[in-house]
Structures are given as C-alpha cells and as structure tokens.
Amino acid sequence: MRISELSRETGVSIASIKYYLREGLLPAGTALGARQSDYGNEHVTRLRLIRALVDVVGLPIAKVKRIFELIDEPGDDIFATLGQAVDSLPPYTTDGEADAVDYPRARAVIERLGWTYDPRYAGTAQLERSIAAIDGTGIPMSDARLDAYASAARQVAEFDISRMPQADAAPAAAIEYAVLGTALYEPVLVALRRLAHQDITARSLAGDDES
C-alpha cells in the first residue's frame, strides 16, 4: 500500500509516518520509484506499536528503538531479552554498573520470598529504592505487609504470564506483550488499589453508622 493508505489504515498522519521513517523507528517500504514506496502489513503492525509506546506510554524515541532492536533480533536467550525490553520502561535506574551493585534490602525481601534474585534487572533496583524510601520515614515495612503485597503481585503476574504469547515460538509478540503489559497495566493496578481503599472504607463507615 501507499503511504496515504497506510495513514488511513492506522490513523497515523502522513507527517508522523515520515517522522518515524526518518527516526528509523519504521523500516523503509519497498521503493516503487524515486518518490513512492510500497508498505505492507508489517508496517501497519509496527505503526500501531509505535503509537502505543510513543503516544500512549510516552516512551522517548531512543527507548522505543531499543525495544524494536530486541524485537527484530531477540537472540537465543529470550528470558534475558524480555528483561532488557521491560528495562526500557521507566522508572529508570541511574546506576550504570548494576553488575557491581548489591541491593541489600531488595535481596533480603526476594530471598525471603524464595524468588529469583538478579541484580541486573530493573525490578530489583526499583524494589530497593522503594523500600529505602519507606525506611526513610522511620517506619519500616513489616514482613506481614510485604508478604501480603508479594502474594497479590504474584497473582497478577501469574495471570499476565498465562496470557503471554509463547516466547520461543513468537518472540516478537512476547516482547511486545511484556513491554505493553508492564507499562499499561501498572497504572490500572494502583488505581484499583486506591478505589478498593475507598470502597472498603466506605463500607466499614456505613457499618459503623448502623451499629
């Protein structure tokens, strides 16, 4: 299809498509002459993903490029590739040499839970920072609370993974799922927690009034 049809098909303006082509986010089409190119379904798919990552998730172009590199060349270690793709999402860890860094608070929590501990993944640094922030208030997080949170987080993760495309058969789809699923569903989870707080509090106060 021509660029005008690609634009109609995806709802992305021709100017935006040209921008993504210039930035190297969208592969060039097949040249039909000096001024025209032919685009295929792979361009439609890629444009939808660009749209989601740039406009909806708000990722910087450089991070989106990195994710596409991983999709286009996932390599043999798909587990590591999935980790790298998700690590392209905020919040970003600032320590460049994660290999050399220990995360004592996160390690203690993860080891107690019996989960995999890998300091190279952004999740480890995120947990370390969030627990350090809590410790900074002078009221550490209790083991009971951590266990309750871990159990809930694991339930969500089990659901997520059960719906993930097979990473070995369809690595590109699995990477796309992991990245979008992480970026888009986290805000839903925290919004639902706040709404559940309200609902539970409202019910308990209503109960108080009746007693």
Site for its own copies in 89-108 (CB under 8 A): none
CA distances from 147 to 142, 168, 182 (A): 9, 32, 21
**Cα radius of gyration (the chain):** 22
Q: Which is nearer to its own copies, 18 or 197 (CB)?
A: 197
CA distances from 27 to 15, 30, 62, 102, 134 (A): 15, 10, 15, 40, 45
Among 123, 165, 172, 173, binds its own copies (CB under 8 A): 123
**Residue 160 binds its own copies (CB under 8 A):** yes
Give the tokens for residue 135: 């410790």
- Window 43 to 82, contacts with its own copies (CB under 8 A): 48, 51-52, 55-57, 78-79, 82
Which range touches its own copies (CB under 8 A), out of 1-9, 22-30, 67-75, 160-168?
160-168
Residue type, 96: G
- Window 169 to 198, contacts with its own copies (CB under 8 A): 178, 180, 182, 184-198
CA distance 129 to 126: 5
**Residue 133 binds its own copies (CB under 8 A):** yes
Counting residues that bind its own copies (by CB under 8 A) gives 77
Residue type, 101: V
